[in-house]
């Protein structure tokens, strides 16, 4: 019962943010600010994780393919496909649910508790449109870009490790990358990136926007939003895989 009540309130929040901005210029400024906060702010962690993700993936794939009859070129293909299909969109978005999601939730929660949201309401501003919409729009714009960066860096991380550890030469790795490449996989990964970007910004926004109480509740709601977002992302991952693959 509680789930339906939250879900209904979440849908109403999404509906409520679709109204005409009072001053499009200020909304654009806020959107650009959020793009910088979410996109540029998360670039560092995404880059580090992606390189290591690809590197570990290459080492572990090489370890499992010990049969001399199997062409080692397949290591590059496995790294490429796992990075594109799963690691970059899903793993990166789960990490971003923690980084970006908790930030959105605690920022809105703090504004709610310190009555800043009420102050905006009193001024006649639709706070859902002014505070929530730019965050979701910025996440939908920047997170797929981060996923693309992650794909390149993940594959590059695998190449670097494979060549440095002597598992595969850089040339062979590059050759493997070009073979049996399915462009649809990138489309599928982007579909996941857009879906997860929406989820990881809107769910924490809901928890932050409707927080009640003080600083303790802000912390609790931030943690809860990250946990729920991660679960919903994994569930959506399964649904999208079942539908689109």
Q: Rule CB under 8 A: which residues touch other proteins?
A: 22-23, 26, 114-116, 118-119, 121-126
- With 0-12 CB in 10 A as exposed, 13-18 as middle and 19+ as buried, what is 125? middle
Q: Judge contact between 16 and 128, C-beta under 8 A.
A: yes
What's the rounded Cα separation, in Å, for the pair 35 and 20? 21
Q: Which residue has the tokens 């073979």?
A: 179
Nearest distance in Å: CB 33, other proteins? 9
When the beta carbons of 1 and 245 are compared against other proteins, the nearer one is 1
Nearest distance in Å: CB 37, other proteins? 11
Q: What's phi and psi for 36, nearest 5 deg? A: -65, -45
Nearest distance in Å: CB 46, other proteins? 24
Nearest distance in Å: CB 119, other proteins? 4
What's the rounded Cα separation, in Å, for the pair 138 and 191? 16
Residue 182: how many other CB atoms lie within 10 Å: 11
When the beta carbons of 23 and 180 are compared against other proteins, the nearer one is 23
Nearest distance in Å: CB 124, other proteins? 4
When the beta carbons of 17 and 228 are compared against other proteins, the nearer one is 17
Nearest distance in Å: CB 210, other proteins? 14
When the beta carbons of 16 and 219 are compared against other proteins, the nearer one is 16
Q: What's phi and psi for 182, nearest 5 deg? A: -110, 110
List, in sequence order, the alpha helices (H) in the chain: 2-16, 24-35, 41-64, 73-82, 92-96, 102-113, 116-122, 127, 133-164, 170-178, 183-209, 215-244
When the beta carbons of 122 and 245 are compared against other proteins, the nearer one is 122
Nearest distance in Å: CB 201, other proteins? 19
Which of 198, 177, 153, 158 shows the shortest CA–CA distance to 45?
153
When the beta carbons of 115 and 179 are compared against other proteins, the nearer one is 115
When the beta carbons of 123 and 239 are compared against other proteins, the nearer one is 123
């Amino acid at each position: 019962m509680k789930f339906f009540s939250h879900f209904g309130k979440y849908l109403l929040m999404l509906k409520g943010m679709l109204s005409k901005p009072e001053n499009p210029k200020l909304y654009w400024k806020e959107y650009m600010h959020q793009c910088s906060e979410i996109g540029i702010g998360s670039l560092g962690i995404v880059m580090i994780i992606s390189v290591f993700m690809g590197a570990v993936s290459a080492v572990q794939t090489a370890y499992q393919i010990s049969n001399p009859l199997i062409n080692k070129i397949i290591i590059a293909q496995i790294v490429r496909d796992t990075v594109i299909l799963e690691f970059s969109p899903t793993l990166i978005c789960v990490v971003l649910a923690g980084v970006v999601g908790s930030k959105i939730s605690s920022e809105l929660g703090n504004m709610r508790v310190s009555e800043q949201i009420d102050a905006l309401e009193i001024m006649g501003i639709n706070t859902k449109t002014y505070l929530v919409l730019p965050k979701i729009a910025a996440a939908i714009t920047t997170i797929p870009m981060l996923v693309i960066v992650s794909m390149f860096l993940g594959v590059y991380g695998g190449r670097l490790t494979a060549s440095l550890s002597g598992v595969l030469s850089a040339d062979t790795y590059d050759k493997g990358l070009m073979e049996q490449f399915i462009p649809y996989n990138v489309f599928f990964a982007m579909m996941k990136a857009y879906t997860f970007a929406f989820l990881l910004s809107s769910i924490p926004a809901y928890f932050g926007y409707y927080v009640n109480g003080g600083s303790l509740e802000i912390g609790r709601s931030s943690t809860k939003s990250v946990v729920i977002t991660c679960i919903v992302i994994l569930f959506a991952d399964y649904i999208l895989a079942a539908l689109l693959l």
